[in-house]
Structure 1
Amino acid sequence: MMTKHQVVNLASTQPIRTLDTDKLSQFGRLNNTIEGLYTTANEGQAELALAKKVTVNAAKTTYTFALYHDSYWSNGDVITAKDFVYSWQRALAPKTKAPDADLFTGIHNAKPILAGKLPATQLGVSAPSKFKLVVKLDHPMAELPERLAYPLFGPQNERVAQKYGAKYATKPQYQVYGGPFMVATKGYTKTHWHLVPNPHYWDRDHVYLTRINVTVFKSQKKMWQAYQDGRLDEVHLPFQKDKHLEKQADYTARPYSKMLLLSYRQRGPKPGVNRLLKQSQARLAISHAIDRKSLGTTTYGATSLPAQGIVPAGLSRGQRGTADFAAAQTNQSTLAYNPKLATKEWRSALKQAEISHPTLSLSYLVGPSTKKVAQRLQQQLTKVLPGLKVTLKAREWTISEQDDEVDTDITLTTQRAQYADPLSMLALFTTENAANTGHWSNQTYDDLVAQASNASSFNNRRWQNLLKAEGILMKYQGVTPLLQPASNYLVNPKLNGVQFNTVGTQSNFKGAYFVK
């Protein structure tokens, strides 16, 4: 039986920097304020949300969506097809250019728009009538529904955006919401905000929480104490606390499809270092010098998984539901800890680069675990690779939580799968993708990813092309995957109905409720 008090208290480690969906690469709790054509169901699969029906032409290049007539913004405006057209064009416009704008690639004209060769108004999306949305593709995209479930593809209210201009989405009173919750205008600060039910949400009868409080904690200790005192209903555990809490009723381990990895700059200011890092032999030496199991257990805890490739474990399975893509990757030996081989490869790479005692700079995003990972990498690499010195540099969080251009030789970063398909990770490292900050390039890799991108269905040929592509990425260590962190939590056992996703956005509180 539900309790009368339906208020959930949550923690965050980062303040809200914007309410503009086009400025975010991670949506955090704000995903509960957004809903699009599709929503993410269990196991990352997409199901229709604001669209009641979709029809696809025979060539699988035109999707026609019929929208519900009774979906409303939080201010009472009807959500129309034009709201999607405006949102998508705005995301690609040079003035806004969303951090994840590459996700639009494959929709007609998205690629030349991203390259600055066409205006965003030429994107293949149109609204021939108030509740009819037509999406035209450059080629078939088997994974399109999964992509469209990502919050970036949600609608935006053009009337509201134009009304507030530069103020749009800077504060709760300058934004409207189409999801089950909205950010309340009262009590909003950078360190505390709360979500309340959207009174005009189409499925309001199935939203049970009356309030979601979110407080920013800079200290893990204070966050832990707040949970112990009953002031939080969920706390993320530092790995040191995991083991003795695993048998508690409120303990849960949540896998998530993200990968911690290293990318390499090959166009830096030091010619010798450029010559070194351009060699796959040097990158292989770095990979073989890393003890991933030790790295994971000493930083993120025993539930983290050593990388098997760039695609996270559990993200995608074969047609018969038996083969996990990550486990099927053939070049896993390039990720094995092999100090003897690493030393041999490194000496050979140094000779080719005509450099003997390189100093490599390694940057990491500020955070307790990432700092530990960087420090452990520094220790492991300098211990195994002769003549190497590694200097560390912290990167501060930005609105998009991404860097436009790397300014260190090696970058420690985290990439998240935004939809349940290997392509969501592999497409990031094609030559022209903005996420490929190290500018690694391989034509065969690009071609294989393009063939998988153009596939009209999830068939075996597409699967094999993706496996071959990852094999090339791992063979040359275009990027070096490290580990797949798991997130361990203590959660109030009386809190039910929260949907935890392994891809896209992590937690959906639409159907959450407390029981007695």
Structure 2
Amino acid sequence: MKAFRFTLLSCLLGLSVSAAHAEKTLYLNNLEEPTSLNPSQGFNLVSWEPLNNLVEGLVRLDAQHVAAPAAAESWVVAEDGKTYTFKLRQNAKWSNGDPVKASDFVYGWTEMLKPETASPAAFLAYDIVGAQAFNEGKGTAADLGIKALDDYTLEVKLANPSVAFLNILTNPNFAPVNEKVATANPKWHTEAATFVGNGPFALKEWNHAKNLVFTKNANYWDAASVKIDKVEFAMVSDTNTSFQMYRTGELDATPSPVPAAMYDKLKDGKDFHNMPQAGSYFFRFHTKMAPFQNQNIRRAFALAINQADLANYVVKQGRQPAYGFVSPGFTGPNGKDFRAESGDLIKTNLEEAKALLAKGMEEEKYTTLPEVTLTYINNPNDKRIVETVQNMLKEALGVDIKLQSMENKVFFAKQRGLELQFSRSSFINDYADPYNSLKSFVTGNSMNRTAWSNAEYDKLLADAQVAADAQARWDALLKAEKILITEAPIVPLYFYNQTYLQKENVKGILRHPVGYIDLKHATKD
């Protein structure tokens, strides 16, 4: 009898110990296969989301969405604002146990900037001395302002002061690369068995186009803060399928957005979340193509579109109408939000729209408006929006416009080639600063795609780029946005947001208006 009691007690204790140490797995959806898990090459959300948890740069965004110490424990900025000296943590290690060295940052950033890498992220590093010239094949790696002073000290020299520099460095593209591993195996980043990172999690499995499996990185410098043992990322692009997986318990959270048809049913639930995302949906005019060479005609079209109706009745999902280009959520040195301070710069005004159209047609000596074609990507969301705008322009201005749909790749090739007269577009911020938004429309910028050029606007952006005075820089950006909206090479329509479902027993997943999902402090009861 005593033996039986001992065995039963042991079993009960064993179960208790097992339960206390039960593996905690978080089930998420990455939508699709990452483009690349090489920090220098993965430049989209499906690459950034896993990278932000597998690797860690000098800084990472904290709960206040501000750049905070990460692989670097501290830094000093020179008085002229052009030299940053970062002190790396001496207990920071790679997932294979190697120490994280300053030379790994030099190596990773140099690889990103090499012309042959053709990294889409390279432009983000152009503040660094010699970066743009090297990336364009006009300089050498020796000219770059990146230097390892010793194993744990990294010096970065900028061509000009950059108020946004630390924010830029939170992008996973600025993570280090283990030089020893990468030189021994250039394909180190393509399989789980060879992947080496320095983030809170390690890559355990990568079943291509199917799923990613992370485990807690025991060598991470702050491993004690990581509470989740394992993360499994599915790769399911259909939002309806993802929603069903959430309902059946296969996912702990859904990616953004929730299915549009389900928004009204879900929005009042305890597991529903709606938060800002820095970015906007807008239309572009080709300003060298009739009739949009005329500013008054462009503004007439812009003022005839009702952004509030589009956001509230067509797009829905809690999205906000856009009356300027820069998203809400950027706080200036004066403590004011950029969007609130800049105000409503383009808002529906049908009478003014009619008057401007008449004025523009008189200026161009048009008796009939040249044919207008609005081109969009062949998907249901775009189709609903352009059909609504088509009706708005007909009712407000008596203008009949044609609609043209294209497949994604064809559309972007034609838009980049300045072949589209009037077209849909979107922008998501790369880092948390209005400059990132407005830089897109500088003369000749690859993101401009309107043929618009304004010397005063270009100068304001150039001044903002090098300004040491944060308030003067902020004021220049405010003035630039007013020029952009007044001259109307674009029409802002609505701001993006993030709508998602998350189980109530899951806490601590950090999401940012600009930035990438951070699982370091996630918990699951």
- TM-score interval w.r.t. the shorter chain? 0.7 to 0.9
Deviations 1:7-65 (A, max 9, x none): 11112333323222233133133321121111111232111111122112221111111
Superposition pairs of residues 340-359 of structure 1, within 5 angstroms: 340-346=351-357, 348-349=359-360, 352=364, 356-359=369-372
Find the residue that maps to 2:281 and give its secondary structure. strand
TM-score scaled to structure 2, two decimals? Answer: 0.87
Range with greater deviation from structure 2 (148-157 or 5-14): 5-14
1:182 is displaced (CA, Å) by 2.8
Contact persistence 2:376–2:383 (CA under 8 A): no
Superposition pairs of residues 94-493 of structure 1, within 5 angstroms: 94-165=115-186, 167-185=187-205, 188-235=207-254, 236-266=257-287, 274-301=289-316, 303-319=318-334, 321=335, 323-329=336-342, 332-333=344-345, 335-346=346-357, 348-349=359-360, 352=364, 356-364=369-377, 368-381=380-393, 383-385=395-397, 386-396=399-409, 405=417, 407-459=419-471, 461-493=472-504
TM-score scaled to structure 1, two decimals? Answer: 0.88
1:348 is displaced (CA, Å) by 4.8
1:413 is displaced (CA, Å) by 2.8
Whole-angstrom distance in 2 between the partners of 1:492 and 1:22: 33
CA 1:498–1:151: 2 relative to 1, 3 Å: same
Find the residue that maps to 1:22 and give its secondary structure. coil
Contact persistence 1:2–1:513 (CA under 8 A): no
CA 1:160–1:278: 2 relative to 1, 3 Å: farther
Contact persistence 2:39–2:174 (CA under 8 A): no
Find the residue that maps to 1:259 and give its secondary structure. strand
Whole-angstrom distance in 1 between the partners of 2:352 and 2:291: 17
Deviations 1:84-105 (A, max 9, x none): 1122222222212322322222
Find the residue that maps to 1:234 and give its secondary structure. coil
1:384 is displaced (CA, Å) by 4.3
1:299 is displaced (CA, Å) by 4.2
Contact persistence 1:300–1:485 (CA under 8 A): no
Whole-angstrom distance in 2 between the partners of 1:278 and 1:67: 53
Which of 24, 27, 34 is the matching residue for 1:9?
27
CA 1:327–1:2: 2 relative to 1, 3 Å: farther
Whole-angstrom distance in 2 between the partners of 1:370 and 1:315: 27
Whole-angstrom distance in 1 between the partners of 2:401 and 2:73: 59
Equivalent residue letter for 1:184: K
CA 1:403–1:420: 2 relative to 1, 3 Å: same
Whole-angstrom distance in 2 between the partners of 1:2 and 1:242: 38
1:343 is displaced (CA, Å) by 4.1
CA RMSD of aligned residues (A): 2.9
1:328 is displaced (CA, Å) by 1.6
Aligned to 2:100: 79
Whole-angstrom distance in 1 between the partners of 2:241 and 2:220: 35
Contact persistence 1:40–1:47 (CA under 8 A): yes
Whole-angstrom distance in 1 between the partners of 2:107 and 2:410: 28
Deviations 1:361-400 (A, max 9, x none): 5233x665445434434444455452432312231499x9
Equivalent residue letter for 1:113: F
Higher alpha-carbon Rg? 2
Contact persistence 1:249–1:493 (CA under 8 A): yes
CA 1:204–1:411: 2 relative to 1, 3 Å: farther
Equivalent residue letter for 1:295: L
Q: Unmatched 5+ residue regions in structure 2? A: 1-18
1:509 is displaced (CA, Å) by 0.6
Which of 479, 490, 509 is the matching residue for 1:498?
509
* Structure possessing the higher relative contact order (Cα contacts under 8 Å, 6 or more residues apart): 1
CA 1:219–1:153: 2 relative to 1, 3 Å: closer
Equivalent residue letter for 1:345: L
Find the residue that maps to 2:118 and give its secondary structure. coil
Q: Unmatched 5+ residue regions in structure 1? A: 268-273
